[in-house]
Amino acid sequence: MSIFNDTEIAFQEKTTEQLRKAYWMFKTIEHPTVTNLGIKALNFTIHNNFPFVEGIVRKTLFEQFAGGETREKSTEVVNQLFKHHIGSIFDYAIEGKEDEATFDHTCEEIKQNIKFAEGNPAVPFVVFKPTGFGRLGIYREVQSGSELTTSEKEEWLRVVKRYSEVCRLAFEKNVIIMIDAEETWIQTAVDDLVNKMMAEFNKEKAIVWNTIQMYRTGRLEYMAEDLRRATEGNYFLGYKFVRGAYMEKERERAAEMKYPDPIQPNKQATDDNFNAAIDFVMQNMDRVSAFFGTHNEKSTELVMDRMREHSLPNDHDKIHFGQLYGMSDNITYFLGENKYNATKYLPYGPVKDVVPYLTRRAQENTSVAGQTGRELALIAKELKRRNSN
């Protein structure tokens, strides 16, 4: 029996109409084949400016998974969540653009998020995606050790400058900045850059946090090496732990290019790896802070168990939990109700520009075993409870 089954708590902010709409939407994306066909059609119609499509997206996927079109419009959701001891993480969810003007605009948007979060307990973190600050291709070139042309060197310096400016502002404003994870073929370049930022800005506390994908092999060893560097350099580490989101793509590329598969062999191995990361944190809390980004009920409860075993208060400032907005409210609201540091990833941006993010979330829902089914069962349970009252 899960401790996260109280649907009255989970859906206390949702009207019955909103729940019915959410049920219909999760039912629609329950089948991977239908979802993938729908996503291709949606991306085509949005890209070609078909009339009415944006309005449909706004009332369905966008309403379920996004906070609003702007940071300011999302504050209504932020305030609503914070009433329940749930923080928000603004996620500027523009994906798939690779021009310098967009990278500069994204960097500026992240700076504004940091300023908004300063001294604001309702927004405990700010986040950015590495490919929001630079081309995937330039990260790949840097990681592979290829000799860069003059223009590529200048391009990479602009990427580094964006990281540095954002991390420095976060340090000055005392706001935690998390850097999301990417595919393995650019992640080492990201890790190296984030480590430099940590060494520079985490001397007093963990301000810059990296993301560790536990469906990957070798991550525990990587963190042990990270810890050695941090101990020698006398700085602190912050980690966001996730399982991971690029499994099929990673396996296909590894097979195609004939290098060892970087992904754990099965779900159990991934779960074991994630749970080992929990113990790594608990054993090294003098230097490590953690954000557990998971929709897995067992992993969430295991963190809570370990906290009790180490006599840590529920709201210990080095342990945080997070789920995506529009998903796993049964976990988030239970954590908030019990005064754990609960948060929601809150994507925002213009509807048309956020479609690639929304469709990726829909695909992830169908690929995670049981995720959509769990959402449907919880919504059905709550609708039944309300009908019987």
What does the pLDDT look like over 176-220, one tens digit per residue?
Answer: 999 999 999 999 999 999 999 999 999 999 999 999 999 999 999
What residues form DSSP beta bridges with 224?
Answer: none
Structure confidence by residue, pLDDT tens digits, 54-98: 888 888 888 888 999 999 999 999 999 999 999 999 999 887 789
Query: Could you tell me which of 125, 117, 122 has the C-alpha nearest to residue 292?
Result: 125
* Predicted pLDDT at 227: 98
Residue 219 or 43, more confident: 219
- 145 and 124 in contact (C-beta within 8 Å)? no
Which helix (H) or strand (E) covers residue 4, if one does?
Answer: none
Confidence bin at 28 (pLDDT 50/70/90): confident
Model pTM score = 0.94
- 341 and 61 in contact (C-beta within 8 Å)? no
Residue 237 or 31, more confident: 237
What residues have CB less than 8 Å from 199, skipping those under 6 apart? 229, 230, 233, 235
One-letter amino acid identity for 140?
Answer: R
Tokens standing for residue 323: 């789920």
The sign of the torsion formed by the CA atoms of 279, 330, 93, 40 equals positive
Q: How far does the chain reach from its first CA to its final CA, in angstroms?
A: 24
Tell me how far apart the alpha carbons of residues 221 and 219 are, in angstroms, rounded to a whole number: 5
Q: Which residue has the tokens 């009207």?
A: 15
Structure confidence by residue, pLDDT tens digits, 348-389: 999 888 888 877 766 665 555 567 889 999 999 999 999 987
Residue 27 pLDDT > 90, yes or no?
no
* Predicted pLDDT at 370: 67
Which helix (H) or strand (E) covers residue 256, if one does?
Answer: helix 247-257
Tell me how far apart the alpha carbons of residues 83 and 273 are, in angstroms, rounded to a whole number: 34
Report, as an integer, the average pLDDT of 146-167: 98
Question: For residue 161, which phi and psi values (nearest 5 degrees)?
Answer: -65, -40
Lowest mean pLDDT among 109-113, 152-156, 374-378: 374-378
The sign of the torsion formed by the CA atoms of 307, 227, 213, 71 equals positive
* Summary mean pLDDT of the chain: 92
Domain ranges across the chain: 1-66+355-389, 67-348
Residue 34 pLDDT > 80, yes or no?
no
What residues have CB less than 8 Å from 148, skipping those under 6 apart? 141, 142, 156
* Predicted pLDDT at 96: 74
Confidence bin at 321 (pLDDT 50/70/90): very high
29-45 b/e (C-beta count within 10 Å ≥ 16 → b): bbeeeebeeebeebeeb
Tokens standing for residue 18: 């909103």
* Predicted pLDDT at 7: 96
Q: Which residue has the tokens 């709550």?
A: 382
Radius of gyration of the chain (CA): 20
- 61 and 358 in contact (C-beta within 8 Å)? yes
One-letter amino acid identity for 138?
Answer: I
Pick the CATH number of 67-348 from 3.50.50.60, 3.30.413.10, 2.30.29.30, 3.20.20.220: 3.20.20.220
Report, as an integer, the average pLDDT of 261-288: 96
Residue 148 is given by DSSP the state: P
Tell me how far apart the alpha carbons of residues 350 and 93 are, in angstroms, rounded to a whole number: 9
Lowest mean pLDDT among 94-103, 294-303, 330-339: 94-103
Cβ atoms within 10 A of the Cβ of 8, count?
12
* Predicted pLDDT at 311: 97
Query: Could you tell me which of 12, 30, 22 has the C-alpha nearest to residue 373?
Result: 30
Residue 304 pLDDT > 90, yes or no?
yes
* Predicted pLDDT at 368: 57
Tell me how far apart the alpha carbons of residues 383 and 374 are, in angstroms, rounded to a whole number: 14
Report, as an integer, the average pLDDT of 128-156: 97
Confidence bin at 40 (pLDDT 50/70/90): confident
- Out of 93-102, 243-252, 310-319, the most confident range is 310-319
Tokens standing for residue 136: 């995937």
* Predicted pLDDT at 110: 97
* Predicted pLDDT at 233: 97
Which helix (H) or strand (E) covers residue 57, if one does?
Answer: helix 53-57
